[in-house]
Amino acid sequence: MSAIIIDGKKIAEQIKAELKSEFELLKNKGVTPGLAAVLVGDNPASHQYVNMKEKACRELGIYSEKVIKSKETSQTELLDLINSLNHRDDIHGILVQSPLPDHIDEGRAILQISPAKDVDGFHPINQGLMLAGRPRFLPATPSGIVELLWRSGYKPSGKHVVILGRGYLVGRPLAAMLALKTEKGNATVTVCHTGTPDIAFFTKQADILIAAIGKAKFVTANMVKPGAVVIDVGTNRIKDPTHPKGVRTVGDVDFENVKEVAGAISPVPGGVGPMTIAILLTNTLKAARKEFSYA
Residue 67: what pLDDT?
Answer: 94
Is 97 considered catalytic here? yes
Give the relative orientation of helices 272-289 and 8-28 as an angle to the nearest 10 degrees. 20
Tell me the CATH number at 90: 3.40.50.10860
Tell me, rounded to whole angstroms, the distance of Cα 254 from its chain centroid. Answer: 20
| 214 in any annotated domain | yes
| 110 in any annotated domain | yes
Residue 48: what pLDDT?
Answer: 82
Q: Does residue 99 have a cis bond before it (omega within 30 degrees)?
A: yes
Residues 90 and 147 in one domain: no
Residue 45: what pLDDT?
Answer: 76
d(CA 17, CA 34) in angstroms, rounded, equals: 18
Residues 166 and 266 in one domain: yes
Domain of 182? 140-272
pTM (predicted TM-score): 0.92
Residue 294: what pLDDT?
Answer: 44
| 292 in any annotated domain | no
- Would you give the end-to-end CA distance of the chain in angstroms? 52
Per-residue pLDDT of the chain (295 residues; tens, 9 = 90+): 699 999 999 999 999 999 998 998 898 889 999 999 999 988 877 888 888 889 999 999 899 999 999 999 999 999 999 999 999 999 999 999 988 999 999 999 999 999 999 999 999 999 999 998 889 999 999 999 999 999 999 999 999 999 999 998 899 999 999 999 999 999 999 999 999 999 999 999 999 999 999 999 999 999 999 999 999 999 888 787 777 777 888 899 999 999 999 999 999 999 999 999 999 999 999 999 875 544 4
CB atoms within 10 A of CB 199: 17
Active-site pick, 53, 225, 259, 286: 53
| 127 in any annotated domain | no
Residue 1: what pLDDT?
Answer: 65
| 294 in any annotated domain | no
Is 225 considered catalytic here? no
Residues 58 and 109 in one domain: yes
CB atoms within 10 A of CB 54: 16
Residues 161 and 240 in one domain: yes
d(CA 200, CA 103) in angstroms, rounded, equals: 36
Residues 235 and 198 in one domain: yes
Residues 215 and 256 in one domain: yes
Residues 113 and 144 in one domain: no
User: Count of domains in the chain?
Assistant: 2
Active-site pick, 120, 207, 252, 254: 120
d(CA 127, CA 93) in angstroms, rounded, equals: 16
Tell me the three state secondary structure of residue 24.
helix
d(CA 112, CA 217) in angstroms, rounded, equals: 35
Q: Does residue 241 have a cis bond before it (omega within 30 degrees)?
A: no
Residues 149 and 112 in one domain: no
| 133 in any annotated domain | no
Phi, then psi, of 17 in degrees rounded to 5:
-65, -40
Residue 162: what pLDDT?
Answer: 98
Count Cβ atoms within 10 A of the Cβ of residue 188 and give its class: 0-12 exposed, 13-18 middle, 19 or more buried.
middle
Tell me the CATH number at 231: 3.40.50.720
Residues 74 and 183 in one domain: no
Are 140 and 280 within 8 A, CB to CB?
yes
| 123 in any annotated domain | no
| 45 in any annotated domain | yes
Active-site pick, 97, 112, 118, 225: 97
Residues 209 and 259 in one domain: yes
Please choose, from the candidates 226, 196, 227, 225, the residue with its C-alpha nearest in 3D space to the C-alpha of residue 213: 196
Is 127 considered catalytic here? no
Residues 177 and 255 in one domain: yes
